[in-house]
A and B are shown apart, each in its own frame.
Chain A
Amino acid sequence: MSLASLENLSIRFGDRQVLSNINLRIEAGARVGLVGESGSGKSLTALSLMNLLPESAEASGVIHLNFGQHVKIDATQLGEDLPFPYRGAQIGMVFQEPMTALNPLMRIGDQIGEVLALHRPDLNTKAHIGQLLEEVDLRADMHRRYPHELSGGQRQRVGLAMALAGEPELLIADEPTSALDMITQRGVIDLIKRIASARQMGLLFISHDLGAVAALCDQIYVLEKGKLVEHGDSQTILKNPQQPYTQRLVAAAKPTKRPEFSRPAQREPLLEIDGLTRQFRQKRYFWQSPDITTAVDQVSFALHSGETLGLVGPSGCGKTSLSRMVAGLDSAQGGSVQFDGHRFGHGVGPIPMAARREISMVFQDPFSSFDPRMRMQDALLEPLHLMPELTTAQKQKRVHEAVQRVGLSIDMLNRYPHAFSGGQRQRLAIARAIVLKPKLLILDEPVSALDVSIRGDVLALLHDLQEKFGMAYLFISHDLDVVRAVTDRVMVMDHGKIVEHGKVEDVFDHPQAEITKKLLDARLTI
């Protein structure tokens, strides 16, 4: 008898079917991965096991739970009125967002204690809360901290401690590491693996990241648009995927190097950064002298037309601060930028208008980088105010060209951002960046928020655009495999400084700096 299983679970919202006939088993002590893209129904599957489905969801099928004794639950009965004593006790759950999943006004010790008070009042002591914190590699004396006093990884560990407090036999983890940087992610995944085997817990691990699932699970279920397309033990699925969808996922998790294209030889670099420095001054009281934090410390590098330069580093190392200065969005406290005959920076002045239209940016989150109340048409026209010499008709034509260039149809342009998928939106963000025909494109984690199978398409698009227009790319990413596939040279940044710089193969195959080694070790490859 398995610990928990779903039998023909289906869920629909009104007449929209989101899950169809899911059959899934979790044996006691087994680690099961559930992989699929956003919107495939992964989270709903997990929430149905917790009896936490949204009120408007209509479920059918059977849920079997076997904690000591076998319980058969008719899924149509799921809801607030169904007595469900397992939640937080025999079944614990960890969620994705470490920044928002904890109550900001409550000490973390109290938040853990709340679970104990509900399910194990006999264990609700400071000592036991301390033990739980230590089990997830935190210090016992951290129980008095508030969530904002912890890093993302630490918060995720608190979430894990809360899930463990009820002594669960089944742990459900819904994308618990997707919002963390690589090194932290690796730490949390190793921790979950260690605890799951130490406690002999069953684990249902949900992720869009095949690498993370491969590192953790012995069985994998693949979900596509609400249907299970394939399941089996991890090695078989990863080595020998049967279904086309699974094959695509596996292929996309291993990005391949793009073919090189020939570039005309140039002596002068397009972009030359010299000793660029960004400092933040903060003072608590006006009579104090400010504390100075140096986010970017004396960074120098050069970039040629048609070249892609990668920028990697742990979160908070200054990657984004650096890119914002290069784009002229933030002022530098030292150093200068030489770009295409223009010079700006500390002591020189702000970025000149003529340089601004030659530099564009694409950001990570395609959902929040468009104004939700602006039609796509207008959002894409907006950058063109930097080119007052164009007539309205010419601007319109530019937008249409850019949209077709990124592989979308121009009759979509009347829609608002919410009517596009994540991949389409990122294509539109790229279109918005290229309407000005810039010479430099700054790509700040351009594919990190995208589903793996779309990632490849967007990277291919970027490659084609570069070949066609000879743009230079500054490519920021935490994903070293992507960086290896798309860049020529790479810089590794840590604590505001460039600690390593060279051809991407050289740097990644023979890392010198400590942080580069750490980043490479943290990779989750399949």
Chain B
Amino acid sequence: MVGYLIQRLLGVALTLLVAAALIFFLLDVLPGDPARFMLGINASDEALNALRQQLGLDQPAFVRFGQWLMGLFTGDLGMSASQRAPIAELILERMQLSLPLAFGALVLSTLIGLPLGILAAQNQGKIGDAGLMGLAQIGIAIPNFWFAMLLVVVFAVTLKWLPPGGFVPWAENPAAAFRALILPTIALALPQAAILARVMRTSLVDVARQDFIRTARAKGLSKNQALWRHGVRNALLPVMTIMGLQFAFLIAGTIIVENVFYLPGLGRLIFTAISARDLFVVRSALLVLVGLVVIIMFLVDLLYALVDPRLKKRAGN
């Protein structure tokens, strides 16, 4: 198991290094000079050169790549040109919002999606199954920004239960921060729940046809007992992969919902940084996203090995 972990962690490190190189060199070949962009088109050559030197832009690319990598370890990612603040601080601040939002949406979508999927599979071919899957279809089809606006209209504007948008940092007022995240979490979670419900249903229906479910029935278990005791855990295996992908999407892909609710999240940070050509922010924020996704996929793989004894063998137990 230790050998397996070392091998996998080395893989993770290598993936991150390749991703960092890709991000760095792709952004580096993009046209546009950060120094000129910061100083404006009327800046003098001396001022430009001075700033380039200050930013280290006069160094060869691989040296700057090395400096950036070092910075990732020391937490010194430089200053954002557009926001005049340390990049590391900016990213950390946004993560306070994006991580709880993504995690909350994942938990909520799991709590809604999996039971509905199981219920539909239990009633396979009956009216309940058709109804639930119809709902799930609608849940997948409705764009989440529209759904987000609907939530705002109902729960914030009409009922006035929750704030319509904006975010108060946790340190200032934890209760308000939590309340601010409720509607965005729901808006993000429901479409994901619909996807999960469909995947869970399909997977469980497949598992229900397996021979070991028939064996379980032959032991004297009822149909539902057999499904719960032997079916669900087996059916969860493919669902776990989808959940890992969803979490990755939730961390990076929340930008539309962030816009509807005026939330300063990681997605918006990257979006505004791109608009402002603040490439230093873009590359570091992108790498943080890639890092999160790679780590999540790694955790999903570990979870797989934990749930499925057939993989544990390969993992060297």
**A127-167: which have CB < 8 Å to B?**
146, 148-149, 159, 162-163, 166
Nearest B residue to A88, CB-CB: B220
B274-317 CB mask vs A (1 if < 8 Å, else 0) is 00000000000000000000000000000000011110011010
Contact pick for B211, options A50, A85, A101, A146, CB 8 Å: A101
Could you say which of B211, B215, B219 has the most chain A C-beta atoms within 10 Å of its C-beta?
B219
* Partner of A285 from B3, B234, B310 at Cβ < 8 Å: B3
- B256 CB–A CB distance under 8 Å: no
A87 surroundings in chain B (CB, below 8 A): 217-220
Nearest-Cβ distance from residue B219 to partner chain A, whole angstroms: 4
Partner of B219, one of A97, A114, A148: A114
Considering residues B4, B223, B307, B309, which has the most beta carbons from chain A within 10 angstroms of its beta carbon?
B309
Contact of B220 among A80, A119, A148 (CB under 8 A): A119
Contact (A102, B215) CB under 8 Å given A80-B222, A88-B220, A148-B313: yes
Chain B residues within 8 Å of A519, by CB:
none
A118 in contact (CB, < 8 A): yes
What is the chain A residue whose CB lies nearest that of B3?
A: A285
A52 touches B214 (CB 8 A): yes
Residues in B whose Cβ lies below 8 Å from that of A284 = 3-4, 314, 316
A159 near B219: Cβ-Cβ < 8 Å: no
Tell me which residues across on chain B come within 8 A of A329, comparing CB atoms: none
Within 8 Å by CB of B212, from A52, A104, A146, A149, lies: A104
Cβ of A271 under 8 Å from chain B: no
Chain B, residue nearest A148 (CB)? B310
* Cα distance, A469 to B45, chains bound together (Å): 88
Interchain CB contact (< 8 A) of A118 among B221, B234, B314 = B221
What is the bound-complex CA distance between A469 and B211, given in angstroms?
Answer: 44
| Interface bits B201-223 vs A (CB < 8 Å: 1, else 0) | 00000000011101111111111
Known A146-B309, A159-B215, A285-B7; judge A104-B220 contact (CB<8 A).
no
Q: Is the CB of B221 within 8 A of A100?
A: no
Whether a CB of chain B sits under 8 angstroms from the CB of A106 is yes
Measured in the bound complex, the distance between the Cα atoms of B215 and A322 in whole Å is 36
Residues of A59-84 contacting chain B, CB below 8 A: 80
A429, CB-defined interface residue at 8 Å: no
Q: Does B229 contact A (CB under 8 A)?
A: yes
Contacting pair B218 A52 (CB below 8 A) = yes
Q: How many Å from the CB of B316 to the closest CB on chain A?
A: 5
B230 at the interface (CB under 8 A from A): yes
Task: Pick the contact of A104: B214, B217, B310 (CB < 8 A).
Answer: B310
**A 93-112 to B, binary, CB cutoff 8 A, 1 in contact else 0:** 10101001111111000000
A-B pairs with beta carbons under 8 A, tally: 80
Q: Is residue B160 contacting chain A, with contact meaning CB distance below 8 A?
A: no
User: Does more than half of chain B's interface fall in helix, strand or loop, or is it mixed?
Assistant: helix
Chain A residues whose C-beta falls within 8 Å of the C-beta of B219 in the assembled complex: 87-88, 114-115, 118, 162, 166
A246-297 contacts to B, CB under 8 A, are: 284-286
Give the residues in chain A near B3, CB-CB below 8 Å: 284-285
Q: How distant is B8 from chain A, measured CB to nearest CB, in Å?
A: 10
The smallest C-beta distance from A162 to any residue of chain B, in angstroms, reads 7
Residue of A nearest to B225 (CB): A118
What string of 1s and 0s marks CB contacts (under 8 Å) between B5-24 and chain A? 01100000000000000000
Chain A: minimal CB distance from B221 (Å): 7
CA of A284 to CA of B310 in the docked complex: distance in angstroms? 15
Contact among B6, B212, B233, B313 with A100 in the assembled complex (CB-CB below 8 Å):
B212
A105:B221 contact, CB within 8 angstroms: no
Nearest-neighbour CB distance to chain B for A85, whole angstroms, equals: 8
Complex interface: chain B residues within 8 A of A100 (CB): 210-212
Q: Residue A435 at the B interface, CB < 8 A?
A: no
Closest to B231 in A: A103
Nearest residue in B to A104 (C-beta to C-beta)?
A: B310
Chain B residues within 8 Å of A89, by CB: 220
Partner of A166 from the list B215, B220, B230, B233 (CB cut-off 8 Å) is B220
**Chain B hits for A50, CB < 8 A:** 218
Query: Which residues of chain B from 169 to 225 have a CB within 8 Å of any chain A CB?
Result: 210-212, 214-223
Pick the contact of B309: A85, A88, A104 (CB < 8 A): A104
**Chain B residues near A118 (CB, 8 Å)?**
219-221
Contact of B218 among A85, A88, A149 (CB under 8 A): A88
A88 to B31, CA, bound (A): 73
CB pair A105–B218 under 8 Å, yes or no, is no
Contact between B211 and A97, CB atoms less than 8 A apart: yes
Q: How far is the CA of A87 from the CA of B214 in the complex (A)?
A: 12
Q: How far is it, in angstroms, between the C-alpha of A114 and the C-alpha of B6 when the chains are bound?
A: 37
| Across-interface contacts of A166 in B (CB, < 8 A) | 219-220
User: Which A residues are CB-close (under 8 A) to B223?
Assistant: 80
Q: Judge whether A103 and B218 touch: CB under 8 Å.
A: no
Q: How far is the CB of B123 from chain A (nearest CB, A)?
A: 12
Minimum Cβ distance to chain A for residue B217 (Å)? 6
A118-B225 Cα distance, complex, nearest whole Å:
11
Interface positions, chain B 54-70, Cβ under 8 Å from A, are none
Q: How far is the CA of A486 from the CA of B144 in the complex (A)?
A: 68
| Interfacial chain B residues near A88, Cβ < 8 Å | 218-221
A97–B229 alpha-carbon span in the complex (Å): 20
Q: Of the candidates B211, B215, B233, which one forms a contact with A162 in the assembled complex, judged by CB atoms under 8 Å apart?
A: B215
Instruction: Verify B216–A103 contact, CB threshold 8 A.
Output: yes
State A148–B234 Cα separation when bound (angstroms).
14
Cβ-defined contact, B212 with A101, below 8 A: yes
Give B33-55 as 1s and 0s: 1 = Cβ < 8 Å from A's Cβ atoms: 00000000000000000000000
Give the residue name and chain of the A residue nearest to B218 (CB).
A93
CA distance A106 to B216 in the complex (A): 12
CB <8 Å contact, B215 and A105: no
User: B207's closest neighbor in chain A, by CB?
Assistant: A103
Contact partners of B221 in chain A: CB under 8 A: 88, 114, 118
Nearest CB in chain A to that of B219: its residue: A88
CA–CA, A97 and B212, complex, Å: 9
Q: How far is the CA of A92 from the CA of B216 in the complex (A)?
A: 11
Contacts of A85 in B (CB 8 A): 220
From the candidates B6, B210, B217, B230, name the one contacting A52 in the complex (CB within 8 A).
B217
Looking at the complex, which one of A92, A105, A159, A286 makes contact with B234 (CB distance below 8 Å)?
A: A105
Closest to A87 in B: B220
Q: Is the CB of A103 within 8 A of B230?
A: yes
Are the CB atoms of B218 and A106 closer together than 8 Å? no
**Known contacts A148-B310, A159-B215, A285-B7; 7 further A-B pairs (Cβ under 8 A):** A52-B217, A92-B218, A100-B210, A101-B214, A103-B212, A114-B216, A115-B219
List residues of B whose CB falls within 8 A of some A CB.
Answer: 3-4, 6-7, 210-212, 214-223, 229-230, 233-234, 307-310, 313-314, 316
What are 19 inter-chain pairs, A to B, with CB distance below 8 A?
A: A52-B218, A80-B222, A80-B223, A88-B219, A88-B221, A92-B218, A95-B211, A103-B212, A104-B234, A105-B233, A114-B219, A115-B219, A118-B220, A118-B221, A119-B220, A146-B309, A148-B309, A149-B313, A285-B3
Closest 5 CB pairs of A and B: A88-B220, A100-B211, A88-B219, A146-B309, A93-B218
